[in-house]
Structure 1
Amino acid sequence: MMFALGVASADDGYRSADGLAVYLGIVPASVVRGHPISHAESTMHGSAGTARHQQHIVVAVFNAQSGARVENAQVSARVGGLGHVGEQSVQLDPMKIANTITYGGFVTLPGNDRYKIVVVITIPGRSRPVSVTFSSDQVQ
């Protein structure tokens, strides 16, 4: 697949584990910054800010068997690049768009690299969190 410069691409964007189907999308934060002030997405997660190389991670979680969307989870992500030292963690906030809940937050992918994104999902009533791992190539 070919992607525009400055865009991150997640591998196939789908993982399943422990009865959950998890989808990951990565969108440049500039797309969110482009919304008018009156648009709900312009202020989500405290707004996109102006940091260079900022990306918006979006995660949708479903019950793999029933297909029902999971809307009561706590979702976080840990992001680290193979060529960069350290890891950043972000709490992914619930976002209600078109009467559905997804989870999102902003991260900085500072350079050309292959990033590992570990999404951790905690659902009330489950004995332990569910963790899935994605890879993403960032091209400047």
Structure 2
Amino acid sequence: MSRDAAMAAERDAAIAAETEQSKTADGLTVYVGVVPAEIVKGPPTHVLLSKGPHEYQIISKSPHEYDIVAAIFDATSGERVSDGVVTAEVSGLGLSGSKTQLEPMQIAGTTAYGGFFDLPGSDLYIVKLTVERGGAKPAVLQFKYDHRR
């Protein structure tokens, strides 16, 4: 293997290690996906807002909006969790982030949780999920999402 090929393979391995898609903690296995909002909502559009009786301003939907989707399973039984309250906090490295409750949604007859976030820059983002179920201790799982490519 050439030196350039070895360096490329090492770089690709490092990027793969930084981008995590599943984790198991506190009795849950969670899979996370991040997709451009256009896949869910359709292409960005312009919205016409009235500022006054004859004034209008055109505002574009954010081109940096992404949908974060979490599929959650009981780690022991493998059963899908459909009764959770899931909160996500998304932040760039060293920055405070935005936090929102993910909404349950049906995908192919199964429950997943999702919500929209702005990822405005090329950065390594931290996605922190908190899953609450009944009286059990909340499960907290942290993922890295590489948005630098």
> Considering only CA atoms, is the larger Rg found in Structure 1 or Structure 2?
2
TM-score range, shorter chain: 0.7 to 0.9
Give 1 or 2: higher helix fraction.
Answer: 2
Which runs of 5 or more residues in structure 1 are unaligned? 2-9, 36-48
DSSP-derived class of the 2:142 partner: strand
Q: If the length of structure 2 is used for normalisation, what is the TM-score?
A: 0.73
Pick the aligned partner of 2:30 from 16, 22, 36. 22
Aligned 8 A contact 2:87 2:99 in 1? yes
Runs of 4 or more consecutive aligned structure 1 residues displaced over 3 Å after TM superposition: none
The alignment covers a number of residue pairs equal to: 117
| Pairing 1:86–2:87 present | no
Rounded to whole Å, the distance in 2 between the matches of 1:133 and 1:12 is 9
Deviations, residues 76-113 of structure 1 (Å, cap 9, x unaligned): 11111016x32100110000121100000000011000
Partner of 1:139: 148
Aligned-residue offset at 1:51? 1.2
Q: Once superposed, what is the RMSD of the aligned Cα atoms?
A: 1.9
Bigger relative contact order, structure 1 or 2 (CA pairs below 8 A, ≥6 apart): 1
Partner of 1:117: 127
Partner of 1:7: none
Partner of 2:82: 71
Q: If the length of structure 1 is used for normalisation, what is the TM-score?
A: 0.77
Partner of 1:59: 70
DSSP-derived class of the 1:79 partner: strand
